[in-house]
Amino acid sequence: MKIYPLSFATAAAATVAALYTTLAIILKMYPGQTLKFIGTIHMMPKLDYIKPFVKVTPYAITMGIITHTVAAFLVFLFLALIYNLLQRVFHR
């Protein structure tokens, strides 16, 4: 089976962008509850100390969406390329 790398990477990047945007909106609307929930998941006992330093700005949200989307695109592009290469090597 062949994976089309650009399509696969684009779909992964779009999914990451949608999830990150949703989570950023939730964090912007409910910062206290979201940080408490995230702190519980990641077992961060000192969350009360860092909470005042967490700023959710439009710039931070935009840069987070861009960087995570580009990173997801590149990771899934390389995964698909490696998968296709290994398929070609082992199915001769």
pLDDT in tens, 31-75: 777 777 766 666 666 666 666 766 778 898 899 899 999 999 999
Q: Is the dihedral of CA 40, 23, 18, 66 positive or negative?
A: negative
The total of other beta-carbon atoms located within 10 Å of residue 62's CB is 12
Cβ-contact 19, 80 below 8 angstroms: no
The answer to whether 54 and 35 are in contact (CB under 8 A) is: yes
Give which of 52, 53, 60 is closest to 28, Cα–Cα. 60
The pLDDT value given to residue 91: 81
What token pair was written down for 75? 């990771």
